[in-house]
Amino acid sequence: MFDLSQKVAAITGAGSGIGAAIATLFARQGARVVALDLNESAEATAAAIAAAGGDAVARRCNVAEPDEVADTFREIAATLGRLDILVNNAGIAHVGTIEQTTPDDLDRLYAVNVRGVFLCAKAAVGIMLPQGHGVILNMASIASLVGVPERFAYAMTKGAVHTMTMSIAVDYVKRGIRCNCICPARIQTPFVDGYLRAHYPGREDEMRRVLDAYQPIGRMGTPEEVATLALYLCSDEAAFVTGQAYPIDGGVLVS
């Protein structure tokens, strides 16, 4: 089950955290992985996959730049001949209420979290339609389903990801392309560690416990747990699933 052999999978934001975990797991299941990131961090992910016997290449791609996205996906199609899976994982965060959010904050998040998903999905659809099949998986957030304090701009962008997911799903359900999204609660990633160091120096452990407690299960999730759900949704075992938002939230929605 969950065999991705002969499938080509492009994962954005694959340099660390959830993206790296998805790339690693997909390669372990046989996929040819294209690890995409804004900087050279994807090289480390691809190298680790190759060292473990997997098949991966890394490409630098700023998902907010239309020309870069178009060139990157054109290269994927030309060199690998196909694109079976796209995981739109790249994203950035912002902490603040509407009063604490500037127009520049909003534009910065929109460029990556919304336009980036749009550009990559549009490029992927152009490759997948002639194939007659494909899977797009978007990374939304629990903040697209419920209110999360002081996440105004972030929640706005992830709500857009959620609705884009449903739109793509309904537009292409009869043309062989499935589209779903994952809605994680707090996940223990390098971003969280950096946030705690920057904003709570000397109190990292205390504040990590606060973040853990947000989930009724008592801890943050792991990138590997999100990757396992992503594997299911991108595999043939999920062939009957499209247009859905899957929470992975440690009980937030039932608390």
Catalytic sites, residue numbers = 154
Burial class (CB in 10 A: 0-12, 13-18, 19+), 203: exposed
Q: Is residue 130 helix, strand or coil?
A: helix
| DSSP letters for 160-215 | HHHHHHHHHHHHHTTTTEEEEEEEE--B--HHHHHHHHHHSTT-HHHHHHHHHHHS
Integer Cα distance of 28 and 83 in angstroms? 18
Integer Cα distance of 93 and 100 in angstroms? 14
β-pairing, 177-184 vs 85-88, is: unpaired
